[in-house]
Structure 1
Amino acid sequence: MRRRGGAEAVEHGNGDGSGRAAEGRAERPRRGWLGWCPRLRTVLLQLLLMYISVPFLVRLFPVILTKFVFLNFMAFPFFADLRQPALLLNNTISLYLPTEPGVTVGIWHTVPGSSGTEARGREQRWFEEALADAHPIIIYLHGNGGTRAASHRIQFMKLMGAAGFHILALDYRGYGDSSGHPSESGFTTDVLALYDWAKARSGNSSIIFWGHSLGTGIATNVARKLQEERGVQVDAVVLESPYTNIRDAAANIPITKIYRQFPGFEYLILDSMALGNMFFRNDENVKVLACPLLILHAEDDTVLPPQLGRQLFETARRAYKDKSKVKLITFPEKLGLGHDYISSNPELPTLVKDFLNMK
């Protein structure tokens, strides 16, 4: 009886144990999934709240938008020594220009390739005097991220320097090794100071404002200010990958795509650009200008679509009395130039010189 009972007990115990084990194995996956569900719901709810709150935060605190427009914290390439441009670019020195009390901007000066041999080992004084050598001078105004050492900007300086241009490429206040904090009005002050500095040294050499992306709005701001307040007409303005105004640019750039169907997108985000003192009115500025104006846009630009460049061209052409002073050049999609790489097109110097009637 004891054996049978013991055996029975053992058998009964084995049966219950194996059943519970099997049942546990069967339930584990379900418990794991159910355990994840609350976490997943929490994460999705947090993402939804963030998505909804951003437009309202932007409206309440427009300064947030400046962080997206002025990407000065993205100081790529991160390890470039801006004081030593010769490590990346021939015939170039770095100089520093005070533009107002408390603000000094960093500038690279590349001399024309024909002066390359003579430029070796020269000090800043020689480079300044070289500005009067009759070669045209480009004041290059870059886009909203990185520094003057970005690869496509170096490519531009190499290409146009080899073609016989002086290049003065600055980092706006708050960018690169320039002091101060970014603002539209501050950028205008910086570029005006550089223009005056170059004009005082250039003799009869022509000076061209060349803006890329965000820099196009800075170029036309300064050209308009010179014309309206001083009666001075810059020799030419070149706008590479431009926009009509910063509001239209914000409505088209990829980062705002997820909010374009959001109720109140225009009021909460686009209208807040003005509250943050950001306008960059290319479309209004070109109505005032009278200098030669060249617009360059790639058909495959996915950051600022080419229709913005076309709209800007049409606005300028309607306003200009001398229609021959306004030209739009588009680059076909097959070239793959996109938003940043028009400067890699070897035909660019010829296109520019032809427009400006330069040899």
Structure 2
Amino acid sequence: MRRRGGDGDSGDSGDIGDIGRAERRHGTARHGRARRWWPPWLRSLLLAPLLSCAAVPFLIRLFPSLLTKFVYLNFLAFPFFVDFRRPELLVNNTINLYLTTEPGVTVGIWHTVPSSKGAEAQGKEQRWYEEALADAHPVIIYLHGNGGTRAASHRVQFLKTMGAADFHILALDYRGYGDSTGRPSESGFTTDVLALYDWVKARSGNSSVLFWGHSLGTGIATNAARKLQEERGVQVDAVVLESPYTNIRDAAANIPITKIYRQFPGFEYLILDSMARAGMFFSSDENVKVLDCPLLILHAEDDGVLPPKLGHKLYETALKAYKDKSKVKFVTFPQKLGLGHDYISFNPELPALVKDFLNMK
């Protein structure tokens, strides 16, 4: 008898093997075609942002002036389509004016008078507003942060809040911001602020004048206060720092936008060291060691831009340097209030807090 399954079975097994090998070859070919058909433009599109992101630190090191664009953000002139000559559309008891701070540079300013003078202010011209500065109400020179203009919503809210508390407020757009002419620079900002200070002092009589800086403006405030004291022997009546930092290098090392680059081994060399090469210092931590005027530091616990540890560090530096420790105060606002980086001026308790610090009734 002949055994079944001999040659026949071997033939069947061979056929199945051939089919399997063919399928594997077909699958491999199909997979290869899929890889070959991956569009080159799509690969470029996906790689371009990664390469651009990685190139930024090297571009900054080669061209440190690029950093000024990131720090000042003056090209972000929000809100858009604002008529700066008509501030009354956004805030009451306010007039627009312009001040030439040096040849070729004119800055735009909004002057808000105390709400107690609101009825009297109706229809008045600039001369009346100037004369009102001598009415014994304290005067705030408000120095805003980077980006935007004096018409930004949280800055308008500051005018409303402190105006209702019977302060005069003069909010300027530094050179290169809003409708102000000139190009932004740290020394230029100081020139603008001191020119406005002189203009105010020439009209304010015995009224107190204080610098109030927010975010980037805190470094500008301490720069101006220090220059007044060192070069003129004059003290501003008080300095208020809202959401501050110690210096611009520390600020750059902590803001969210640089988080991805902190993993780079050359982060300090490529980015942080380039701050000085771009002429940006804003050294509030050094400035407060020189000041002797009352200094109030305000920071929200939920500040997601400049962490409160920077405000606390600045406070500790000032407290150590000041002979009269009672002149330095640090106030934090609980996270539950949700004030973040920009909205401390929305806190209804702010005016009373400031008046208490200034020993005002």
* Fold match by TM threshold 0.5: yes
Distance in 2 (alpha carbons) for counterparts of 1:78 and 1:47: 28
Superposition CA RMSD, Å: 1.6
Q: Please, which of 52, 55, 59 is the counterpart of residue 53 of structure 1? A: 55
Q: Please, which of 256, 259, 263 is the counterpart of residue 258 of structure 2? A: 256
- 1:263 Cα deviation from its structure 2 partner: 1.7
Amino acid aligned to 2:242: E
- Equivalence map 1:342-353=2 (5 Å): 342-353=344-355
- 1:31 Cα deviation from its structure 2 partner: 5.7
Distance in 1 (alpha carbons) for counterparts of 2:32 and 2:357: 71
- Unaligned stretches of 5+ in structure 2? 1-28
Amino acid aligned to 2:202: A
Distance in 1 (alpha carbons) for counterparts of 2:295 and 2:333: 17
Distance in 2 (alpha carbons) for counterparts of 1:214 and 1:226: 19
Specify the alignment match of 2:125 in structure 1: 123
Q: Report whether the alignment pairs 1:89 with 2:94.
A: no
Specify the alignment match of 2:201 in structure 1: 199
Q: Deviations over 1:133-175 (max 9, x none)?
A: 0000000000001000000001010000000100000000000
Specify the alignment match of 1:157 in structure 2: 159
- Unaligned stretches of 5+ in structure 1? 1-26
What is the identity percentage for the equivalent residue pairs of Structure 1 and Structure 2?
81
Specify the alignment match of 2:134 in structure 1: 132
Q: Deviations over 1:200-238 (max 9, x none)?
A: 000000001000000000000000000000000000000
TM-score, normalised with respect to structure 2: 0.90
Amino acid aligned to 1:323: K
- 1:35 Cα deviation from its structure 2 partner: 2.7
Specify the alignment match of 1:219 in structure 2: 221
Q: Report whether the alignment pairs 1:41 with 2:64.
A: no
Q: After alignment, is 27-36 or 116-125 more displaced?
A: 27-36
Distance in 2 (alpha carbons) for counterparts of 1:36 and 1:324: 69
TM-score, normalised with respect to structure 1: 0.91
CA shift in 2, pair 1:28/1:242, >3 Å = same
Amino acid aligned to 1:142: H
Specify the alignment match of 1:267 in structure 2: 269
Specify the alignment match of 1:3 in structure 2: none
Specify the alignment match of 1:148 in structure 2: 150
Amino acid aligned to 1:303: V
Q: Deviations over 1:51-86 (max 9, x none)?
A: 222111101100100000111111111011111001
Specify the alignment match of 2:322 in structure 1: 320
Distance in 1 (alpha carbons) for counterparts of 2:346 and 2:31: 56
Specify the alignment match of 1:15 in structure 2: none
Specify the alignment match of 2:103 in structure 1: 101
Q: Please, which of 227, 230, 233 is the counterpart of residue 231 of structure 1? A: 233
Q: Deviations over 1:220-261 (max 9, x none)?
A: 000000000000000000000000000000011111111001
Aligned length: 334
